[in-house]
Amino acid sequence: MSPSIPLEDFFEDIIAKSMRGRHLPESALAEKTGVPRDILARLCRGEFCDEAALVKVAKALSLDPRTLTMAASKVWYPRAVTLDGLAMFNMPYRDMHVNAYLVWDPASLAGAVFDTGTDSRLITAQAAELGVRIESLFITHTHNDHIADLDRLKSAAPGATAYANRAEPWPGTEPFTEGATFAIGNLRLTALTTSGHSKGGTTYFIEGLSRPLAVVGDALFAGSMGGGMVSFADAWKNNREKILTLPDDTVLAPGHGPLSSVGEEKRNNPFFSAEFA
């Protein structure tokens, strides 16, 4: 849970995702905003060169100008989160990092793993050190960075059942559908389908720790969201209606970047903050 984990997306990534999702190439965005092409190109490259132009771009892309400007100014980072019963593992994958999580019931020490990252030995070693029994494995989605070490993890926890959304099945996992519930000791888990980045992307909402917890995969990042690789509209809608309607103190555990919370994202995420102003 180190605050040194960088944000997954810079302001230019946020702009690019919204451009793709709203089918607005640079030429069309320049025409819609009146921003000179050279200024727009610099903004799209990540040069915060003209705040007034950035505001015009934000409005054209249905992004919140205030929080997009904050992202461009690099003045926001989510407040540090510590939660007894949650361990985060941030692992290198090619030219980026990916997260996996161990969640356990502090009373019974029953545990579950969410995604695998690239080296599940880190997770199983931590579980062994804590005395946590890994009883289940939950997949947020089946992109390779999130399931790269699934076979080794299953071998290390042979008594654990692996689960994946029926809309995005994977060999060796048990399927479930929207609204399925599971137990992690005394903790209650509810599966929410938050598709858009992937066909069966899933958010796992967990109650019973000192704060509610949502493992969101690549649906939502601190200050941004996953690319709508299947459907940007579905991704945005599911984030808005299924994740950001959870209690404000819900800890958000994303597939990349640092931990955040529902309240933080409602205030500071350019894709959504205008909706909750």
Structural domain includes residue 100: yes
Taking the C-alpha atoms of residue 165 and residue 175, their distance in angstroms, rounded to an integer, is 5
Is the domain of 177 the same as that of 254?
Answer: yes
Instruction: Record the pTM.
Output: 0.97
Is the domain of 256 the same as that of 129?
Answer: yes
Chain centre to alpha carbon of residue 241: 15
Is the domain of 98 the same as that of 61?
Answer: no
- Is-contact 61 218, C-beta < 8 A? no
Is the domain of 170 the same as that of 236?
Answer: yes
Domain boundary among 21, 45, 73: 73
All residue ranges of the chain with pLDDT < 70 are: 1-3
Is the domain of 90 the same as that of 27?
Answer: no
DSSP letters for 206-259: EESSSS-EEEEETSEETTEE---TTTHHHHHHHIIIIITTS-TT-EEEESSS--
CATH number where 28 lies: 1.10.260.40
State the helix-helix crossing angle for 51-60 and 26-33, rounded to 10 degrees. Answer: 110
Taking the C-alpha atoms of residue 141 and residue 217, their distance in angstroms, rounded to an integer, is 7
Is the domain of 47 the same as that of 121?
Answer: no
Where do the DSSP E strands lie in the chain?
86-93, 96-104, 110-114, 133-138, 161-165, 174-176, 181-184, 187-193, 202-207, 213-217, 220-221, 224-225, 251-254, 260-261
Q: What are phi and psi of 199, to 5 degrees?
A: -65, -40
CATH number where 109 lies: 3.60.15.10
Domain that holds residue 35: 11-73
- Please report which helix (H) or strand (E) contains residue 12, including its range: helix 11-21
Is the domain of 236 the same as that of 186?
Answer: yes
Q: What is the pLDDT of residue 1?
A: 40
The CA R_g of the chain, rounded to the nearest whole Å, is 19
Percent of residues, the chain, with pLDDT higher than 70: 99
Is the domain of 42 the same as that of 93?
Answer: no
Is the domain of 169 the same as that of 230?
Answer: yes
Q: What is the pLDDT of residue 2?
A: 42
Q: What is the pLDDT of residue 124?
A: 98
Torsion angle in degrees (nearest 10) through CA of 245, 111, 106, 92? -70
pLDDT of 246-262, one tens digit each?
999 999 999 999 999 99
- Is-contact 12 268, C-beta < 8 A? no
Is the domain of 29 the same as that of 103?
Answer: no
Structural domain includes residue 6: no
- DSSP helix/strand/coil, 78: coil
Domain boundary among 27, 47, 73: 73
Q: What is the pLDDT of residue 140?
A: 98
SS3 content of the chain, % helix, strand, coil (to 5): 30, 25, 45
Is the domain of 199 the same as that of 65?
Answer: no
Q: What is the pLDDT of residue 155?
A: 97
Beta-carbon contacts of 176 under 8 Å, excluding residues fewer than 6 positions away, are 163, 164, 165, 166, 191
Taking the C-alpha atoms of residue 199 and residue 192, their distance in angstroms, rounded to an integer, is 13
Question: Exposed, middle or buried: residue 267 (CB in 10 Å: 0-12, 13-18, 19+)?
Answer: middle
Domain boundary among 73, 100, 119: 73
Closest C-alpha among 134, 135, 105, 114 to residue 210: 105
- In Å, what is the CA distance from 186 to each residue of 111, 163, 182, 204? 10, 19, 10, 16
Structural domain includes residue 28: yes
Domains: count for the chain: 2
Is the domain of 194 the same as that of 66?
Answer: no
Structural domain includes residue 79: no
Q: Half-sphere exposure (CA, 13 Å, Cβ side) for 207?
A: 7
